[in-house]
Amino acid sequence: MTDPHRLDAPAAPPLAASPLAASTLAASTQPSSGSGRIPGLDGLRALAVVAVVVFHLNPAWLPGGFLGVDIFFVVSGFLITTLLVREHARTGRLDLPAFWARRARRLLPALLVVIPFSVLLAWVSERDLLVGIGPQVLGALTFSFNWVQIAAGSNYFAATSPQLLTNLWSLAVEEQFYLAWPLITLGLLTAIRSARSRIGIVLILAAGSGFLMAARFDPEVGATRVYYGTDTHVFGLMIGAALALWWTTPEIRGPAFWIARRRPATALALGVLAGLMWWLDESRPLTFRGGLVLASVASAVLIASAITGGTLARALDLPALRWIGERSYGIYLWHWPVILVVNADYGPVPGSAGFGWTRLWCVVVILALADLCYRLVELPVRRRGWRGAVDLWARQLPGRADGRRVLLIGATTVLLLAGAALASAPGMTSAQQQIVLNEKAAIRSPVPDSAVSEPRAADFSMPMGEEIDAYGDSMMVGSVPALKYYFPGIRIDAKSNRRWSSGYRAVLASGTDIRRAVVLSFGTNAGVTEADVRATLDRLGSHRMIVLVNVHLNSTRASSDNAALKRVAADYRNVVVADWSARVRTERTLLQSDGIHPSMTGQHAYAAVVRQTFADLSVARTGIEVRLPVLPIP
C-alpha cells in the first residue's frame, strides 16, 4: 500500500568519501532503464494490491490476500534503502530534510484527498461508518494510526465492526519506517565498514521482529497487537532493506542473485507466496508464528529475481500490471472506504444474488478514483512540487485569474463539511445501540436449587418457550425481542463478544438448572473451536434437544466454522444445526448496516429459523408432525 517509489536520484559517480567503492555502485544500482525505475517492481506492487483488494471484496476468494501488505513492506524496504545507499555513495552524506520532503510529496497529496472525501461519502451513505472516526483521522494525519488503533482495542480482522480508515494502519508503519530508517542507515553506513556486518545487523532486526510477533501472539486475545505493531511487523521492511544492502554490494551478492534468477527459485517463491495466500488466514496461529515472515522472504526472492531481469521481470512489466502498480498507492487508499460505502448502500451478502455485481462495481469505482487521483493529484505534486501543482490546478479552472480563490473556497468547503461530519459522528453504530438495549433483557434469571429438576429421560417433542434455555453472543443479543416473541418464557443468557469457550463456561455456571431444550449461538467473534463445542454438548448431555446456530460473516473462516458445527452435530443424535447463514443469503434486509447483526426483520427470521430447526429435530426423533403457526411481525 505504498506509493510507487522510483530510484529517481540522478546517476553520478560516487564520491571518494563514500564507504562503498565507485565500482560497486556503478555496477549495482543502475536501473535497467533510463527512466530511473526498476522493471518488474510495479508489477509486484500490482500483484500485492490486487491480493489485498480481493481479500477485502470477499475474504473467501483469497483467505490470505492480506499478505499483499507484506509484499509492499518488502518492496518499500528494498527501494528506500537502495535510494539511501545510492545517495550516500554519490555525495558522502544523506540529505534527510530533502528525503522526508520527497516522501511527503509522494504520500500526502492522495492521503489529504482520500480522508475528507471518504468521511463525506460515509456521512451521506451510512453514518454508522463514522463511529470512532475522530481518532482514526487523527491517527491517519499523524501517521500513528496503528498505535492509536492498538490503544483503542481495534481489530483489523473484525468483520463485526469495520472502520472507515482501517487500511491506513500499514501506511503508518511505513511512515514510521521512513522517519527512523534513514538515521539508522546513516549510522550503519558510517560506523560499520563491513557490508556483511551491515546486512547481518539488519537481518537480526528482522528476525527479532518476527520473533516478537510469534512470542506475543495470543490466540485468545487476538492478533491486533502483533499485526498492527511496528515493532512486531517491521520484519518485511527489514528483509527488503537487507536485500538492498546485498544488491548494492556486487562483491558479495553474486551467487545469491544468480540463484534467485534461476527459474526453479522463482517458481518456488511464487508457489510459496500463492500457497500462503490461499491457505493462511487470520484464524491460523501459524499466520503470525512464521507465516508472514515466510511470505516476506518469498517476496524478497521475487524482487531479487525481478531486478536481475529474465522471464519474471518481463511478465511483471506487462502494461496492465505497470498501470495498476503505478496507481497501487491510490488503489490501496481508496479501496476500503469504497467497499464499505458500497456495502452500506447495497447490503450485499456473500453468495446472494447480485453479490458479484456489487463487487464488480466496487472495482470500477476504486480504479476510477485511483486513476483520477494519480493523474490529477499525485503526479502534479510529485513533478511540480506543492506550489507548482497549485498553479497548475488553478490554471485548469474556469476564470483563471480567480483560480486560486476557487481552489481555496473549494478546499475550505470540503474541510468544513468533513469537520461537520466528524462533529456529528455517532458514538455507537445502530447495531451496537440495539445490542446495548437488548443485553438488559438477555440476563438469565437463576431458579432456586429446590425448584430445579434435571430431566431424566430424553423428550424430543416440540419444546415450548418455558422449556428452552438459550446461550449466545451478540447475534443472540440482537434477536432477544423476537426470541421472546416466538418462545414466550424462554430464558436467555447472552452477551456481546462471547466466544465458544465463554459459552461453555456459561453452561457450567448453570449447573443442573438447564431446561430440556437449549439454543447455542456462538462463533461470531473468534470462530468455532470444535473442542469447546463438543465439551459444551457433552456437558448438556444426550437427553436434551440442542440447536446450534451457525454463523454468517464476510470472513474466510465462516465456511470452515459452519462446516465444523455441521460435523460436530452429526456425531450427536440430539443436536441439529440451524442454518442462519443460508437464510441470510436470501434477503439483504435481514441484516443491519454492519452486514453481520440481524435487523428488526432479521431478528424475527433468526427466531423463526431456530423454531423450525427445533421442529425438524422433533420430527426426526419422534416421527410426529409439528405444525408451526405463522407469527406476524408485530
CATH number at residue 453: 3.40.50.1110
HEC sequence for 333-362: HHHHHHHHHHHHHHCCCCCCCCHHHHHHHH
For residue 116, pLDDT over 70 is answered with yes
For residue 329, pLDDT over 90 is answered with yes
- Cα(27)–Cα(29) distance, integer angstroms: 6
In this structure, are 541 and 590 located in the same domain?
yes
- Cα(327)–Cα(372) distance, integer angstroms: 10
Q: Please compute the mean of the pLDDT values over residues 485-503 and round it to a whole number.
A: 91
Q: Which of 427, 455, 472 is the last residue of a domain?
A: 427
In a domain, 335, yes or no: yes
In this structure, are 451 and 333 located in the same domain?
no
In this structure, are 437 and 421 located in the same domain?
no
Alpha helices in 229-262 (DSSP H): 235-247, 250-261
Average pLDDT of the chain, as a whole number: 86
pTM of the model: 0.82
To the nearest whole percent, how much of the chain has pLDDT over 70? Answer: 88
Q: Which of 378, 404, 427 is the last residue of a domain?
A: 427
Across the beta sheet with 545-549, what order do the strands follow?
491-494, 468-472, 517-521, 545-549, 575-578
pLDDT of residue 32: 41
- Cα(550)–Cα(527) distance, integer angstroms: 10
Cα-flanking dihedrals φ and ψ of residue 484, to 5°? Answer: -70, -25
Per the structure, the count of domains in the chain is 2
For residue 33, pLDDT over 70 is answered with no
In this structure, are 455 and 591 located in the same domain?
yes
Other CB atoms within a 10 A radius of the CB of residue 430 amount to 17
In a domain, 495, yes or no: yes
pLDDT of residue 211: 97
In this structure, are 415 and 499 located in the same domain?
no
HEC sequence for 146-210: HHHHHHHCCCCCCCCCCCCCHHHHHHHHHHHHHHHHHHHHHHHHHHCCCHHHHHHHHHHHHHHHH
- On whether the CB atoms of residues 227 and 158 are closer than 8 A, the answer is no
pLDDT higher at 355 or 9: 355
pLDDT of residue 399: 59
Task: Note the Cα 593 to chain centre separation in Å.
Answer: 18
What 3-state DSSP class applies to 470? strand
- On whether the CB atoms of residues 545 and 560 are closer than 8 A, the answer is no
Confidence of residue 235 (pLDDT cuts 50, 70, 90): very high
- Cα(359)–Cα(57) distance, integer angstroms: 6
- Cα(608)–Cα(594) distance, integer angstroms: 22
Per the structure, the complete domain to which residue 54 belongs is given by 22-31+38-427
First to last CA, the chain: 49
Residues 6 or more apart in contact with residue 16 via CB below 8 angstroms: none
Helix, strand, coil: what percent of the chain each, to 5?
65, 5, 30
- Cα(490)–Cα(463) distance, integer angstroms: 10
Cα-flanking dihedrals φ and ψ of residue 471, to 5°? Answer: -125, 135
Lowest mean pLDDT among 111-115, 154-158, 330-334, 496-500: 154-158
Grid coordinates representing 9 are 536520484
Place of cell 452500506: 344
**Are β-strands 468-472 and 545-549 bridged in parallel, bridged antiparallel, or unpaired?**
unpaired
To the nearest whole percent, how much of the chain has pLDDT over 90? Answer: 60
- Cα(18)–Cα(93) distance, integer angstroms: 8
In this structure, are 123 and 238 located in the same domain?
yes
- On whether the CB atoms of residues 78 and 244 are closer than 8 A, the answer is yes
In this structure, are 344 and 489 located in the same domain?
no
In a domain, 563, yes or no: yes
Q: Which of 427, 447, 464 is the last residue of a domain?
A: 427
pLDDT higher at 47 or 527: 47
Task: Note the Cα 80 to chain centre separation in Å.
Answer: 25
Angle at the Cα of 523 (from 492 to 588), degrees rounded to 5?
A: 90
Place of cell 481508496: 334
Q: Please compute the mean of the pLDDT values over residues 180-190 and round it to a whole number.
A: 95
- The DSSP letter of residue 230 is T
In a domain, 373, yes or no: yes
For residue 8, pLDDT over 50 is answered with no
Confidence of residue 256 (pLDDT cuts 50, 70, 90): low
- Cα(82)–Cα(76) distance, integer angstroms: 10
Place of cell 506550489: 387
In a domain, 394, yes or no: yes
Task: Note the Cα 523 to chain centre separation in Å.
Answer: 19
Q: What is the pLDDT of residues 441-492, one digit of tens each?
A: 777 665 554 444 565 678 899 999 999 999 999 889 989 999 999 999 999 9
In this structure, are 444 and 571 located in the same domain?
yes
- Cα(242)–Cα(249) distance, integer angstroms: 11
- On whether the CB atoms of residues 610 and 547 are closer than 8 A, the answer is yes
pLDDT higher at 305 or 452: 305
In a domain, 148, yes or no: yes
Q: What is the pLDDT of residues 549-594, one digit of tens each?
A: 999 877 667 888 899 999 999 999 999 999 999 898 877 788 887 7
Residues 6 or more apart in contact with residue 312 via CB below 8 angstroms: 40, 266, 302, 305, 306
In this structure, are 392 and 445 located in the same domain?
no
Q: Please compute the mean of the pLDDT values over residues 28-56 and round it to a whole number.
A: 75
For residue 3, pLDDT over 50 is answered with no
- Cα(560)–Cα(582) distance, integer angstroms: 14
In this structure, are 472 and 613 located in the same domain?
yes
Q: Please compute the mean of the pLDDT values over residues 22-47 and round it to a whole number.
A: 58
Nearest to 112 by CA among 143, 86, 88: 143
pLDDT of residue 371: 97
- Cα(503)–Cα(471) distance, integer angstroms: 7
Grid coordinates representing 281 are 488466514
- Cα(628)–Cα(91) distance, integer angstroms: 84
Nearest to 181 by CA among 127, 124, 125, 241: 241
Residues 6 or more apart in contact with residue 224 via CB below 8 angstroms: 149, 150, 153, 154, 155, 156
Bridge partner residues of 193 (DSSP): none
In a domain, 285, yes or no: yes
In a domain, 4, yes or no: no
Radius of gyration of the chain (CA): 28
Full DSSP string of 542-594: TTSEEEEE----SSTHHHHHHHHHHHHHTT-TTEEEE-HHHHHTT-GGGB-TT
In this structure, are 160 and 297 located in the same domain?
yes
Measured CA to CA in angstroms, residue 217 lies from 148, 262, 284, 376, 418 at distances of 19, 36, 11, 42, 37
Task: Note the Cα 16 to chain centre separation in Å.
Answer: 47
For residue 295, pLDDT over 90 is answered with yes
In this structure, are 437 and 422 located in the same domain?
no
